[in-house]
Amino acid sequence: MTDQAKTTHFGFQTVDWDDKEKKVGAVFESVAANYDRMNNLMSFGVHHAWKRFAVALSRVRPGQIVLDLAGGSGDLTRLLSKKVGGQGHVILADINAAMIEVGRNRLIDEGLIHNIRFVQANAESLPFAKHSFHCITMAFGLRNVTDKETALRSMYQVCKPGGQLLILEFSTPTWPGLKSVYDWYSFNILPKLGKLCADDEASYQYLVESIRKHPNQEALKVMIEQAGFEDCQYHNLSGGIVALHVAYKY
């Protein structure tokens, strides 16, 4: 690591490189209990459509093994578990124990854990053997990772040859005029929703800022390909507010 790499961003703040993981962890411990309710409020429920679209574009088949990174409350894991069936399995991995607990409890309540495992793991150093997964998904988690390049290389290592990567993440609006409206809503409404509904304005202020610091569609495509994945394409959803990047390991 170079001297220049020893600081990074936490939202709009500059922090020590080693401190970001702890700060992000504190955010998600704080928001875990209200995570799903706030997602529904902030996106007007549209986040479910984004996730269904991602899984629909996956090549996941019955009997396969899938890694859902930053799986959190289990939305993607739920959909993927139905695709892999009883002979396959999905690993919901998240760095944050509080988020895993939320996801585990939800999926247990829904009777959907016959083919699901839960692992606390850091995306930058995944604790799995090389060539383990037919598909790796990550929804709204990459922007919170300190070293995105290292995380993407780690994903490449554990992906099987012929496997697929899907990264669903907030991105840069592409529709004319949308960015100004989106920025106003993000900075003026979302933190207030966090305060009103979760008594946690600061965490949602960070989440808004973290989106602005995340690489745009083209920059993320380059990062994914530099990690070793090929054929990376992205799909802009809701005018580019969200982008789904799909790539392969050949």
Q: Is residue 131 helix, strand or coil?
A: coil
Choose among 42, 36, 44: nearest CA to 74. Answer: 36
Query: Is this model's pTM higher than 0.85 or not?
Result: yes
Whether 148 maps to a domain, the answer reads yes
Whether 238 maps to a domain, the answer reads yes
pLDDT at 2: 47
pLDDT at 5: 57
pLDDT at 198: 84
pLDDT at 197: 85
CATH code where residue 84 lies: 3.40.50.150
Whether 123 maps to a domain, the answer reads yes
Element (H, E) at 232: strand 230-237
Whether 1 maps to a domain, the answer reads no
Whether 146 maps to a domain, the answer reads yes
Report in angstroms the alpha-carbon separations of 93 from 127, 161, 186. 10, 21, 28
Whether 207 maps to a domain, the answer reads yes
pLDDT at 54: 98
Q: Is residue 68 helix, strand or coil?
A: strand
Whether 10 maps to a domain, the answer reads no
Range of the domain at 109: 15-248
Write out pLDDT tens, residues 219-229: 999 999 999 99
Residues in the chain predicted with pLDDT less than 70, given as ranges, are: 1-5
Q: Name the phi and psi angles at 117, rounded to 5.
A: -120, 155
Write out pLDDT tens, residues 32-44: 988 888 889 899 9
Say how far apart CA 198 and CA 51 lie, in whole Å: 23
pLDDT at 136: 98
Element (H, E) at 8: strand 7-10
Number of domains in the chain: 1
pLDDT at 1: 43
Q: How far is CA 49 from the centre of its chain?
A: 15
Whether 103 maps to a domain, the answer reads yes
The answer to whether 93 and 121 have CB atoms below 8 angstroms apart is yes
